[in-house]
Amino acid sequence: MREHLILLPGWGLGSLPLEGLAEALRGLDPMLRVDIEPLPELASGEARGWLLALDERLPPHAWLGGWSLGGLLASELAALRGERCRGLLTLASNPRFVAGGDWPHGMDEATFDAFVDGCRADPDATLRRFSLLCTQGAAEARGLARQLQAALPCTVPQVRLAGLEVLGSGDGRSALRDFSGPQLHLLGGADALVPAEVAGELLALRPDIEVGLIEDASHAFPLERPREVAAAMLAFIGEAGNA
């Protein structure tokens, strides 16, 4: 059976951060079908609505993957689908992006709230700042940030803010525990938004999953190091298929 991988993008930056990765995956394994699917364009920040919209739109029995917010949604959708999901692969994704009392490994709430306020008041400046945060730690950080800024999608402000609400309120820890299929979670060693320490916490949630670290890589490592990331993903899909 030909494998199908669906990749969900992150917040605010459209599909560009995943396009090089999708191309690398297809080049390394022409038999793998790879699709980048846009996130729902909903004005509501209620995560359940986003998940149901994705579940209705996306074909079953595919691998689900995602970058950042896309990884959080892919995790929740994998748990929702259960045996209708072949496996889960997340990239630079924190199961709880905003830190809490029992999860210190995220952005503090005050910083996140200020980011939301900035997005509401001056979305263009906020997205430029976000692109710089995404590429911080990369060898060619400013060049990557310029790529992201040049390809910013036109998004309805309410949809952009709703996506932030989903990101800020999301907690995918139970989804990772509940989904019994194969899981690979890749993190960036120099990620300015998702600390590398999340790796150990993911293994504590479910010791039988695979967690990998892309050394010296930024939050935007799918754009920064697409072939390296693609090779790791394909190796995992191949191993899971032979298990």
Of 29, 105, 185, 191, catalytic: 191
How far is 200 from 188, CA to CA, in rounded Å?
A: 13
Count of CB atoms situated within 10 Å of the CB of 159: 15
Active site residue 75: no
Of 15, 68, 75, 93, catalytic: 68
How far is 78 from 172, CA to CA, in rounded Å?
A: 11
Helix (H) or strand (E) holding 36: strand 33-36
Active site residue 108: no
DSSP helix/strand/coil, 41: coil
Show the DSSP H helices in the chain as ranges: 16-28, 47-57, 69-81, 109-121, 123-135, 141-150, 157-169, 173-178, 198-205, 221-224, 226-242
Of 29, 93, 218, 219, catalytic: 219
Give catalytic residues, as residue numbers.
68, 191, 219
